[in-house]
Amino acid sequence: MPFTISISTDQVENLLRRARVVLTGNEMQEILRTVGHSVGIEAEASVSEYPRPSGKPLPLAYTRVVASLSPYYTPTGQLRTPGSTYRSKFKSEKQQRFVMASIRGAKGFKRIRIPYRRTGALGRSINYRIVGLSPYIVVVSIGTNLSYARYVIDEEKQSPYFSGVWTPLQTDIRKALPRMAIQAQKSAMKAINAALRK
């Protein structure tokens, strides 16, 4: 779940424009890499702290629609016909399969513990990386490679259960953009001055 940071300040651009006249492409790339790292560190520092467990109860049951094309009997002997509704602890068949496979520890599924205990894995997995670099542009991406993160901290896909408890990553980054712009400017000035003194 990467989120790309776009920072542009006139002062940094003016500095870089002037530096291009006397510095090589490789020197410019090194300056931008330094700026990218300082912005990435600032971005990581702006991620909200882990919230306390909300204690919100999960819904006792969801209404689901029978997706099967033909009628069938459940293990308890109930007849289910296509298009009819029934109550389930799971939102969908996909979710039900995932949870059951995870509890069993099926191949390819990370075993989950019941009752669930926080591991801190999501917080530890959020980091930045520099994904694009040219003599004049650096792209910093911040995010996580955990597949479930989008349902916890992504603005668009956050589950209603986590809404109001976990701050979306995009919200944290947008709030920190002014600080990151200042950090980019300081870092650029320092790196350019160091390169010009060589």
pLDDT higher than 80, residue 166 = yes
Quick one: pLDDT at residue 153?
Answer: 93
pLDDT higher than 80, residue 118 = no
Ranked by mean pLDDT, which of 16-30, 77-91, 106-120 comes out on top?
A: 77-91
The whole-chain average pLDDT of the chain stands at: 84
Chain centroid to CA 188: 27
Quote the pTM value. Answer: 0.69
Q: Give the SS3 label for residue 88.
A: strand
Quick one: pLDDT at residue 98?
Answer: 85
Quick one: pLDDT at residue 1?
Answer: 64
The per-residue pLDDT for range 70-109, each reduced to its tens digit, is 998 988 888 999 999 988 888 888 888 888 888 888 888 8
- The Cα 119–Cα 124 span in angstroms is 10
Q: Give burial (CB, 10 Å; 0-12/13-18/19+) of 81.
A: exposed
List the one residue out of 120, 118, 141, 119 whose CA is nearest residue 130: 141
DSSP class of residue 59? Answer: P
Contact 31, 192 (CB under 8 A): yes
Average pLDDT over residues 162-174: 91
List the one residue out of 118, 65, 111, 117 whose CA is nearest residue 88: 65
Contact 42, 176 (CB under 8 A): yes
pLDDT higher than 80, residue 46 = yes
Other C-beta atoms lying within 10 Å of the C-beta of residue 51: 11
Sequence ranges of the domains in the chain = 2-53+121-197, 54-117
Contact 195, 30 (CB under 8 A): yes
Quick one: pLDDT at residue 192?
Answer: 85
pLDDT higher than 90, residue 169 = yes
Identify which has the larger pLDDT, 185 or 2: 185
Q: Could you give the count of Cα atoms lying within 13 Å of 83 in the half-sphere of its Cβ?
A: 0
Reading the block at residue 127, the tokens are 């980091």
Quick one: pLDDT at residue 159?
Answer: 86
